[in-house]
Structure 1
Amino acid sequence: MPAPPAPVPPSPAPLSPVVLSLNIARKTVPVDYAQRGLTAIDKRPVGGPLKVSPPGPKGEGGSGIQGDVIGDWNNHGGDYQAVYGYAREDLDWWQGELGVDLHEGQFGENLTTRGVDQTQARIGERWRVGTALLQVTGPRIPCRTFAGFLGQRGWVKRFTQAARPGAYFKVVEAGVIAGGDEITVVHRPDHDVTVGMCFRALLTEPDLLPHLLTAGDDLPPEERDTVLRRGAIQLDA
């Protein structure tokens, strides 16, 4: 009589979304590849908890994370880019592509996450992280500072083609965040405009630009202005 088949072990339970690491830069560093000659892209893990709050308009307010500094206030920071997140899963993918080790914070992100797909997050999606409430506002657009910091030839083009941009957030409710905090998606809008779609529309697929407007008030003013300017779209008065 044949032996009974061996029992199939149960599949491991999916990991709960979590902040793997909270990362900040405590000072700017002079470099020759940054537009203003200064950068704070080299974020490093800290234990926290740190306060998270709305920093104010771009150009006047910097990072939304307590103690974090920004080198170029005109192009980074402000209420709609108060916090930048990047997934550990995407860092791992890049490790395989580049053949180098990438630590948490290496892409300049404040929140290195695990267990949540930031590219598929919808614009306007709200996350409870620690005691703070964050709202997804859009993708990170690569720049020469990012390329210079990583030292990868053709990096802007390569990052654009990969379309794994990470997500920017605004702070809806101030609070504190620490590494290890769970992430709970508490609101997901009805529209289908994701971080990935917004990234492709702005950089590689301009035919998608008009569709970004279906995100309504969830679309930040800067992206909305870009759509109207580049798409030559006229809205009804």
Structure 2
Amino acid sequence: MNVYSDLGSQEARVVAVNLSEKKGERKRPISWGQLRVDHGLVGDAHAGNWHRQVSLLAEESIAKMQRLGLDVAAGDFAENLTTKGIDLVALPIGTRLSIGDALVEVTQIGKECHTRCAIYQQAGDCVMPKEGIFVRVVTAGKVESGSPVIIL
């Protein structure tokens, strides 16, 4: 199984680090973030000692929604890390990733969307419930745009 997208010699990487201080808000890009063990992204409202500490969504998934005519970008799907060059949903639960200085472990693929978000209302669909993944932080570290994402 090839979990890397066809990017030629380009490696998988983080293209945006996003956070929101309150739940229910769109996440905004920040220049860098700190992932903390048993917590997640420092300063993010969704962080905590549970299995969904950090959320990831591929830039390729966001592009699907843009092709439907939506004006969306990194963070608009409430993902903490926007990635490029890796097929996130192909990663089995338990897969460990090195992201920047941090080590994380995949804990969940997708999620149930209990309430239809604004994106679903606009497009009749949303990629985060099907294509977003969640990880827990195993080793703390700094992440920023351009940080490599390496499958261990």
**What band does the TM-score fall into relative to the shorter chain?**
0.7 to 0.9
| 1:54/1:79 contact within 8 Å kept | no
Letter in 1 for 2:31: G
Shift of 1:22: 0.3
Shift of 1:182: 0.7
**1-structure distance, mates of 2:34, 2:55:** 15
Superposed CA deviations along residues 10-44 of structure 1, whole A, max 9, x for unmatched, are xx724210000000012x2xxxxxxxxxx344111
**1-structure distance, mates of 2:9, 2:60:** 14
2:64 is aligned, of 71, 93, 116, to: 93
Task: Choose between structure 1 and 2: higher helix proportion.
Answer: 1
2:43 is aligned, of 52, 62, 67, to: 67
Task: Choose between structure 1 and 2: higher strand proportion.
Answer: 2
Letter in 2 for 1:15: Q
- Structure 2: runs of 5 or more not aligned: 1-6
Q: Residue 131 of structure 2 corresponds to which residue in structure 1?
A: 165
Shift of 1:151: 5.5
Q: Residue 112 of structure 1 corresponds to which residue in structure 2?
A: 82
Secondary structure of the 1:85 match is: strand
Shift of 1:80: 1.1
1:25 and 2:20 aligned: yes
**1-structure distance, mates of 2:84, 2:73:** 14
Q: Residue 46 of structure 1 corresponds to which residue in structure 2?
A: 30
1:148 and 2:148 aligned: no
- Percent identical pairs in the alignment equals 29
| 2:108/2:135 contact within 8 Å kept | yes
Superposed CA deviations along residues 208-235 of structure 1, whole A, max 9, x for unmatched, are xxxxxxxxxxxxxxxxxxxxxxxxxxxx
Count of aligned pairs between the two proteins: 147
| TM-score (norm: length of structure 2) | 0.84
Q: Aligned Cα RMSD in Å?
A: 2.6
Distance 1:101 1:153, change over 3 A: closer
